[in-house]
Amino acid sequence: MSQAHDFTRDDCLVGKRRRTYAALKREYVCNMDGGRLDTQWSDDTDKYPERWFIQCAVCGGQDFIHEREYVRQEYEAAEVLEGLPAELAAILGRERMPAHEGIFSLHSKPVDL
């Protein structure tokens, strides 16, 4: 989870690493909504001196996360939600998803073979 800054024509800093726009579009997503990234042109030369920058195509955010990390966090959130009491999950506005057939669940009943 890193804010993009120090934009140039071809890349920007994400955290402490300089990443090309091509790599960001291929490997990263928006940390807020998981949206894909897109390069943009700006007339605001004070904020973007070289006029090019990258942002989320959905919300316009510039807080990026590697796609694998985003997916990992979604799975972890689903596991945490599964462990919550139904009342607390309802307060959070979420419903538990039933265990899919063929996927192991800690709440599954043992099968007699």
**pLDDT tens digits, one per residue of 38-97:** 888 888 777 776 788 888 999 988 888 899 999 998 888 888 888 888 888 778 776 555
Give the pLDDT confidence score for residue 78 in this predicted structure: 83
Higher pLDDT, 12 or 67: 67
Measured CA to CA in angstroms, residue 73 lies from 22, 48, 70 at distances of: 24, 31, 5
Give me the pLDDT at residue 94, please. 61
Average confidence (pLDDT) over 92-111? 52
The three-class DSSP label of residue 87 is: helix
Domain ranges of the chain: 2-66
Is 107's pLDDT higher than 60?
no
How confident is residue 9, by pLDDT bands cut at 50, 70 and 90? confident
| Distance between CA atoms of residues 37 and 55, nearest Å | 5
Backbone angles phi, psi at 76, to 5 degrees: -65, -40
